[in-house]
Amino acid sequence: MPRLPTGQREEDDLPVLDLGDQPETPRDRWTLLVDGAVEAPITFRWEDLLALPQVERAADFHCVTAWSVLDLAWRGTPLDAILALARPKAEATHVMAHGRDGYLTNLPLEEALKDDVLVAHTLRGAPLPTEHGGPARLLVPQLYAWKSAKWISRLELMTHDRRGYWEIRGYSNTGYPWRDDREW
Ligand SMILES: Nc1nc2c(c(=O)[nH]1)N[C@H]1C(S)=C(S)[C@@H](COP(=O)(O)O)O[C@H]1N2
Ligand SMILES: [Mo]
């Protein structure tokens, strides 16, 4: 198995890529809302997040603009632990991740619930820097990096699919790096 998907080249340092607005949120004012198709909408504060299970994951990160960074060390809370507390309704099929910069990206629950998907707050042993989405971002390493919403503010459970920022603008709805699944 090659280490890099088709069309990707390796970078040592994580580039910064976003729409340009990098919101600063102090940890004591940070919140994450889980709502939509759930039985129990819930808002997490920073200490609530840290009270949930904390795991380490080493993961490769593939951006559709052709860079990949291998073996990044992340720490954070598994997304399934967060979503479970809101009790997704049986008819929930997708989740929209909202960033504080207005960014949106959509995921099928099947991808969102995978073991490596985190709300990540630590990168390479240090607090996640603002430019990489700190205090906390979504990490969905099995999909192209545009699915990993920085500055996560809201996880909206949905009963049908809806496209996010890049998914409307021509990126693939699914975004599987290992299938060279870049555009629709
Ligand atoms: N909130 C937010 N998240 C975002 C983006 C963005 O513009 N806003 N850009 C995405 C894209 S296209 C990529 S490649 C990665 C880049 O993450 P990085 O800047 O930490 O390398 O963030 C993703 N998450
Ligand atoms: Mo990207």
- Nearest ligand to residue 132 Cα: 1
Residues of the chain with confidence (pLDDT) below 70: none
Distance CA 119, CA 117 (A): 7
Burial category of 22 from C-beta neighbours within 10 Å (exposed 0-12, middle 13-18, buried 19 and up):
middle
| Per-residue pLDDT at 184 | 85
Name the residue at shortest CA distance from atom 12 of ligand 1: 146
Pocket-forming residues, ligand 1, beta carbon under 6 Å: 14-19, 63, 99, 101, 103, 132-133, 145-146, 148-151
Q: H helices within the chain, ranges in order?
A: 46-51, 79-86, 109-112, 165-168
Residue whose CB lies within 8 A of the most ligand 1 atoms, among 18, 72, 148, for a mutation test: 18
SS3 assignment, position 99: strand
CA of 149 to the centre of ligand 1 (A): 6
| Tens digit of each residue's pLDDT (9 = 90 or more) over 62-88 | 999 999 999 999 999 999 999 999 999
In this structure, are residues 134 and 128 in contact, taking their beta carbons and an 8 Å threshold? yes
